[in-house]
Structures are given as structure tokens and as C-alpha cells.
Homo-oligomer: A and B are copies of this chain.
Amino acid sequence: MTSPIPIGELAREFGVTARTLRFYEDKGLLSPRREGSNRLYSRRDRARLKQIILGKAVGFSLDVIKEMLEIYDLKDGQAVHLEMALSRFAEQLVVLRRQRQKIDEAIGDMTRTMNLVAGMLRDRQASELEIPREAAE
């Protein structure tokens, strides 16, 4: 129906830039039809893009996303492929948890530092109140 859409539209729909879509094409992740020089993206292209974006969201590189898409394309009936994907996901899950851990540490560091600085500010204000200095430096 409304299927083949131009690059700008697809970009808007997914919140990416046209450059990004062309870049993915360059990397072999997408291969839209051409109408003259203009690109037209089918439903299949959109499905792939969705996968790509999800893959990126969970921290895969474009290279491994490409591999996974290719496995998907092999009419992935084979259980071997599913198991491969599953173990890869498991690995990535570990990575994600580690990242989460680091972010938590960073948040901890940050709040500690902020308390420290806030304390310095308070001290300063206190001493300004106690010992009003001359204006000149």
C-alpha cells in the first residue's frame, strides 16, 4: 500500500538522518530500490532498519548486526543459527550488565563530587559571613 517511501520519510519515521540511512546502505545493511537516482524503501527495508536500530540500542556494532541480518536471511530455519544467536545475546547481556554497573558507579562518583563541591561552597559562604573582608584584593 503505502509501502515504498523516500529516504526523508523513513528517516523521520525512525528518528535518524538521511545520512545514516545512506551510511547503512554503504555498509551493506540496507539496499533500497532506486527510482532514477532516488531511493525507495520497502516494507522489508523498514523491518531491517528496525532490527538495526534495536541491535544498536543493545550495543552491537554494525558489523555484527550485519552478520545477524544475514543469518536471518538464510531462511533461518536451522536451530544452529538460533543457538548461535542465543549465545551471542547472552554474551551481550553480560556486557550490558557491566555497562549498567559502570553507569551506576559514575552516578555515585558524580553525586559524591557534587556533595563535595557543594560543601566547599557552603564553607566559603560561611566564612564570608563571619569575616567581611575589604573590597580591594
| Interface residues of A, Cβ cutoff 8 Å to B | 54, 57-59, 79, 82-83, 85-86, 89-90, 92-93, 96-97, 99-100, 102-107, 109-111, 113-114, 117-118, 120-121, 124-125
Closest to A120 in B: B82
**Chain A contact surface mostly:** helix
Top 6 A-B pairs ranked by shortest CB distance?
Answer: A58-B106, A100-B103, A89-B114, A96-B107, A58-B110, A86-B117
User: Which residues in B have their C-beta under 8 angstroms from that of A125?
Assistant: 79
- Name the one of B57, B90, B120 contacting A102, with C-beta atoms under 8 angstroms: B57
User: Which residues in B have their C-beta under 8 angstroms from that of A99?
Assistant: 103
- A109 to B92: give the CA distance in the assembly, Å: 12
- A99 to B124: give the CA distance in the assembly, Å: 34
User: Which residues in B have their C-beta under 8 angstroms from that of A113?
Assistant: 89
